[in-house]
Amino acid sequence: MELSLAEAVPLWRTLRDEGVTALITPALDYVGGLELGTKDVRFESGEVIAQLGESLRNLISSLDDRCSLLFVYRVTDDVEDVIREYESVCASGESSALRVYVAARAEWLRKQRLRRIRVFLFFSLAGVSISALGRGALGGKLVFGNADAIAQERHQAELKCLAQLRDRIVGRFAQIGLTARELSPEDFWRIHYQLLNPTRARQRLVAPEVAVRDDIWSEGAFRALGEHVREYSEAEQLCHESLEDERGRFRQGDRFRRVMTLKVLPGRATDYFASEPLLSLSLDHGGVREPVPYTLAVAVHVARQGSARWALNVKHRLVDALRRALPCPPERRGGRDVGSRVVDFMCQA
């Protein structure tokens, strides 16, 4: 038995309608995408950094319940397309001296080890998603929602809500001073293709133009003849390289993959942009720092505030009651009363 990679990719269809680009997942989440401009805070003053950090916090806190954000920070060492764009822009120069200068500069740039940073933001509302469980687990088979149960009006309403969320996020980023460009369906396909096919991406192969065709065979024919007569889905058209699931890592060809999830914030104080060292990872070869391509993904999910607070309070009360019920020697209390520690804990929460 062979497991299909396309079955584990949360991508059903990508479309542009009602002036918004939407990726629809098998769980019927409508997801939009933005490419964000970058800002280097290393040379900013402390006040500017604090202001920027608070602005980002306000952006998160202004989101609706059950809204999800996924920041994808991609670092690549492939800048060939940028150099080609530079050459094409300057190729129309009439001055021969300029053309020679541009050619020499492009040749010099190609010899350098450069890093290119792109930041993407994917966002979605709760929508008509089947359930949190229906979104599946990493590497597990995804369950497709019943799209026929969604009326055309509901589909249009979902697109409208997604467009409103996009405009709100773009506006907030503009206030912070960050540019945001909406991704097109082709951008979605390109990002998926590069992430799912690292060897082909390294060979600079162009992502396919995805076109989904209607099946001409019935379900009975698929069962009788086999799945190979079925037309390719969108995810299948983007999956070309197999993934080996090894202990502690994934392997795609000669590339190893690991996933890092930042789940729990430190219990005490955290500096603004404390994760900045993660954004400038590099390899040290004899004192020379060389860029290393990597992808860092940070997911933010806004829980339903009412139920989350209720669950948290119940959990704390239960832990408090169990702690009181259990005998605990004074030396293990750290010299403080358990009740006061619990009160402190609740105040922090």
Query: Closest by alpha carbon to 346, among 323, 313, 318, 322?
Result: 313
* Residue 339 touches another protein, criterion: CB under 8 A: no
CA distance 89 to 85: 6
Out of 40, 80, 215, 276, name the contact with another protein by CB under 8 A: 215
Out of 220, 326, 329, 331, name the contact with another protein by CB under 8 A: 326
* Residue 46 touches another protein, criterion: CB under 8 A: yes
* Residue 144 touches another protein, criterion: CB under 8 A: yes
Element (H, E) at 84: helix 80-91
Residue 254 tokens read as: 């000669």
CA distance 125 to 134: 15
Cβ-contact 60, 69 below 8 angstroms = yes
CA distance 31 to 14: 9
* Residue 17 touches another protein, criterion: CB under 8 A: yes
**Minimum distance from CB of 105 to another protein (Å)?**
39
Out of 121, 125, 239, 291, name the contact with another protein by CB under 8 A: 239
Task: Return the amino acid letter for 204.
Answer: R
Out of 80, 85, 167, 244, name the contact with another protein by CB under 8 A: 244
* Residue 264 touches another protein, criterion: CB under 8 A: yes
* Residue 254 touches another protein, criterion: CB under 8 A: no
CA distance 324 to 339: 8
Residue 129 φ/ψ, nearest 5 degrees:
-55, 140
Cβ-contact 238, 188 below 8 angstroms = no
**Minimum distance from CB of 227 to another protein (Å)?**
4
Contact code string over 64-103 relative to another protein, x by CB under 8 A = ----------------------------------------
Out of 246, 254, 284, 331, name the contact with another protein by CB under 8 A: 246
Select the span of 68-76, 125-133, 222-230, 281-289 touching another protein (CB under 8 A). Answer: 222-230
Q: Considering beta carbons, is residue 252 or 282 the nearer one to another protein?
A: 252
Q: Considering beta carbons, is residue 116 or 341 the nearer one to another protein?
A: 341
* Residue 225 touches another protein, criterion: CB under 8 A: no
**Contacts to another protein from residues 124-143, by CB under 8 A:** 137-140
Residue 43 φ/ψ, nearest 5 degrees:
-105, 10
- Angle, helices 46-61 vs 152-176, to 10°: value is 170
Q: Considering beta carbons, is residue 10 or 109 the nearer one to another protein?
A: 10
Out of 43, 96, 131, 148, name the contact with another protein by CB under 8 A: 148
Task: State the DSSP code for 216.
Answer: -
Q: Which long-range contacts (CB under 8 A, 24 or more apart) does 239-242 make?
A: 239/5, 239/6, 239/9, 239/196, 239/197, 240/196, 240/197, 240/200, 241/196, 241/197, 241/198, 241/199, 241/200, 242/5
Select the span of 101-109, 161-169, 186-194, 266-274 touching another protein (CB under 8 A). Answer: 266-274
**Contacts to another protein from residues 276-315, by CB under 8 A:** 303, 308, 311-312, 315
**Minimum distance from CB of 336 to another protein (Å)?**
17
